[in-house]
Amino acid sequence: MEAEIASLQAAALAEIETVGDRSSLDAFKVKYLGKQGEITKLSEGMRHVAKEDRPRFGKALNELRQSVTSRVEEREQSLASQADAEVLSRVDISLPGIPAEQGALHPLTHLLDRAVRIFRRLGFAVAEGPDIEDEWHCFDALNTPQDHPARNEQDTFYLPDGRLLRTHTSTVQIRVMENQAPPVRIIAPGAAYRRDEVDATHLAQFTQMEGLYVDRDVSVADLKGTTEYFFRQLFGSETEVRFRPHFFPFTEPSYEIDIRAKSLGGKWMELAGCGMVDPAVFEAICQKRGDRAFDPDVVSGFAFGFGLDRLAMNLAQVPDIRMLVENDLRFLKQFSAL
């Protein structure tokens, strides 16, 4: 059997020197190292060897397998190197290279980052919630009556199971209050969805940022100070901010926020809605939590919300909101220096 082992080793090592490509090497491995290969067949003959001779022959078989395996690995590396060298030989190093394009933040992402940084300086944390919501979080908890137009299927995307795509990120405020006792100071940026006709100023999906601050003795003065600080940080220290009475189901009193800034052409522009959280919202939260953590006789708060898409349009002087979602590089490259 020693002669068979030596003969097989010599044949295998001689044959592998003739292997010139990957497919031939694979065939060689099957022939000698496979389950039905020559070395395996020779190993099966060990049962006919005398018991006292088996350790010696077993050692010789292991050395055979290791030597063939080692040579196969060396040949694999050699063939791979040859293939790489062949590819590189076809490369014309005199040709100019292909420049790598440098990416940049989307103007909407850039604005979102700026807004988050400003509110963080005021102590606000970022909160998130699901895009698919139920009516309680989207409407009922926010004191929205059953006959409110926003509940109509013409205004809201409803799913077959009765859930819906959130129409605002106020749902995040509700979820935070469900799980956190006052004080609460959060902003909730994210996507919102409404059945608007897509045109130069409307999208069916848009980016909204809402904020909520709840604690003892929170007042309209806190609301005005916070929003005025934000818009002046965003548009410049000379920005004028005014509040006009309005109505929202979830705040009382409620206001529309207009601003006037030189960077926006010096005209008054409606940009946000806000107000003091309606006590009915706090009562709904207390009922859901099963405690009085948000007792409206003890705590108060304010909320605000605005569309980041509109702000991005105003800051970047974009005439059509659809440009923000069309992914046209000719448009987006203009903001690479932001």
Q: Extract the annotated binding site.
A: 252
Reference 278, options 249, 305, 304, 256; nearest CA is 249
- Helices 2-16 & 54-89, crossing angle to 10 degrees? 0
- Which residues belong to the annotated binding site for Mg(2+)? 252
Query: Long-range contacts made by residues 29-38, C-beta under 8 angstroms, separation at least 24?
Result: 29/72, 32/68, 33/65, 33/68, 33/69, 33/72, 38/8, 38/12
Query: What angle separates helix 54-89 from helix 22-33, to the nearest 10 degrees?
Result: 170
| Dist CA 183 CA 179 (whole Å) | 12
Partner residues linked to 215 by β-bridges: 300
Q: Are 175 and 137 in contact (CB under 8 A)?
A: yes
Helices and strands per DSSP (H, E), number in the chain: 11, 9
Residue 152 to residues 129, 157, 163, 207, Cα–Cα distance (Å) = 23, 9, 13, 21
C-alpha torsion sign, points 326, 327, 329, 333: positive
- Residue 139: strand, helix, or coil: coil
For 134-169, give one letter per residue: b (16+ CB within 10 A) or e: bbebbbbbbbbeeeeeebeeeebbeeeeebbbbbbb
H helices present in 17-155, as ranges: 22-33, 38-44, 54-89, 107-121, 135-138
**DSSP per residue, 147-170:** T-GGGSTTTS-B-TTS-EE-SSTH
